[in-house]
Amino acid sequence: MSVSDTDLKKRVKKAASLLFHAPVLKVPQAMRAANFTNEESSDPTMQMKVRRAFKAMKEMVQKTESKIIGRSVSVLFLSPTTSTISSLTASDVPSQVEHQMTPPKLDEVRLTVTGATKTSTNKQKIDKWKSAALKAATLMYHNELQKENGMSAEQVEQVIRKRYSGTGPSARTIIRYVVEYKLVNMSPVKRGSPGNIPPSVFESLCVAVESYISINQINKLCGNKLAKKELAAVVNTVAGRETEHKSKDYKLLKRIAVYKNIDLSETVHSMSI
């Protein structure tokens, strides 16, 4: 074995030891700390050698610990009769302690580019499926509230879960979206600030939009047609939304249209200012 090979093995062992005692370090950092050059620490082949040495070191420590546990152990306890300290071996320990269950050893999974892409795609499909179930549930419950003897949120939950193969929001979530958030047929709310439009203000805004559309439909003979983007800009301005392009942000307008069952494709083209 040449001197260079011996030196390389020592540096690999040192880098693996650093990774073992400092798990926060990344492989290239541990390699540079073990006197590897920047070029060597960026070499995938060298990194793999360090990872293999680190894995072998962990397995050796685990085997050593298991052997120590398997040997006779001394258990100190205070005798209730003589008040003296006695010593027990593993054979004297109750069987419940001898048959202590150990957690299963999990296989290390390293996703390839293809595997990571498939995992991300599957997550997007699941999120889309859950979003569709929530949209259907909120829309159904909103329509049932308009009926005299409509279904309850619990009944809507059962119908949606049956339709979507067990997937669907709970009754409490359905009520929260429709009654509290005023969100119907909309995607799940992202984590963070719920927004700055209180439910009472949103109700007033919905009434104002309906009145605005009705007034413009009555005055449609004026000939000044109002397009969807102009209506969206008006709604965003009234709500005080600070958007970069107010005429291209249709989220609030769409939310109002869904909540009030307004067909924008039929009403906007006939409106006038």
Render 53-107 in DSSP notation, one character per residue: HHHHHHHHHHHHHHHHHHS---EEEE-TTT--EEEE-GGGS-HHHHT---PPPPP
pLDDT at 225: 59
Burial of residue 29 (CB within 10 Å: 0-12, 13-18, 19+) is: middle
The DSSP secondary-structure symbol of 34 reads T
pLDDT at 78: 45
pLDDT at 184: 87
**Cα gap 236→96, rounded to integer Å:** 68
Looking at the DSSP assignment, which residues form a beta bridge with residue 77? 86
Q: What are phi and psi of 62, to 5 degrees?
A: -65, -40
Largest interatomic CA distance in the chain: 107
Q: What is the mean pLDDT of each run of 10 residues along the chain (273 residues)?
A: 78 88 84 88 89 88 69 46 46 48 66 78 88 93 91 93 91 90 81 64 82 75 62 76 58 77 62 45
Both tokens of 112, joined, read: 């390839």
The letter for the amino acid at 202 is F
pLDDT at 109: 63
- Across the chain, where does the E strand assignment appear? 75-78, 85-88
pLDDT at 258: 75
